[in-house]
Amino acid sequence: MPARTDSFDLGRLRLTTGEGRRLALEVALDPLQFGGTTYVTTPPAADATLDISRTTHNGYALRLRFDATLGGPCMRCLEPAQPALSVDAREVDQPGDVEELRSPYVTGDVLDLRAWARDALALALPAQLLCREDCMGLCPVCGTDLNAAGPEHAHERAPDPRWAKLSELKLD
């Protein structure tokens, strides 16, 4: 089992320009806020691959890859959903006077792996988290789960709010 790593000291690798290293690490995955709901990853950590390359002028080119499964309600039918996500993120930290390019996750030689993993996971989210791609959601009229009710589920006619108002009138 690789060690759980929240921050990683890149300087420790003592890489020279053009040199690279591939590491297997375990990253903690914090719960994710999405659409007003909290999604928890299961398990709350992932086996990650971190590629580190030393660029010229003391810079780093970084690549982080891991898979994660989220747990939370389906956005259409509210049943439990377990969307699986693949994360493949890249960062460059290049100090320099002219073309400086700093990564928000690198301070000095230390990489904030936990913060990067959290943001990379958020960026990998699809527009909707669903229990399955073709989830039919809830009936807009009565709220029945259409996945369970099947395609035959239908109403004679959607209640017209004008008729509802009329039926409330008390006629003497």
Residues that bind Zn ion (CB under 5 A): 74, 76-77, 131, 135, 139, 141-142, 144
**Is the CA virtual torsion 8, 14, 15, 21 positive or negative?**
negative
- Which residue's CB is nearer to Zn ion, number 62 or number 74? 74
- β-partners of residue 82 are none
CB of 77 to Zn ion, least distance (A): 3
Report DSSP letters for 111-122, one per residue: EEHHHHHHHHHH
Q: Which is nearer to Zn ion, 54 or 76 (CB)?
A: 76
The residues, any chain, with a CB within 8 Å of residue 15's CB and separated by 6 or more, are 21, 52, 53, 54
Continuous segment of H or E residues that includes residue 165: helix 161-168
Instruction: Indicate the residue among 11 and 159 with the shorter CB distance to Zn ion.
Output: 159
Least distance (Å) from Zn ion to the CB of residue 88?
Answer: 26
Q: How far is the CB of 75 from Zn ion (least distance, A)?
A: 7
For Zn ion, give the closer residue by CB, 62 or 75. Answer: 75
Nearest approach in angstroms of CB 170 to Zn ion is 30
Q: Give the C-alpha separation, 144 to 76, whole Å.
A: 12
Please give the structure tokens belonging to residue 108.
């000095």
CB 150, min distance to Zn ion, A = 11
Of 61 and 78, the one with the shorter C-beta distance to Zn ion is 78
Strands 37-42 and 20-28: unpaired
Start-to-end C-alpha separation, the chain: 80
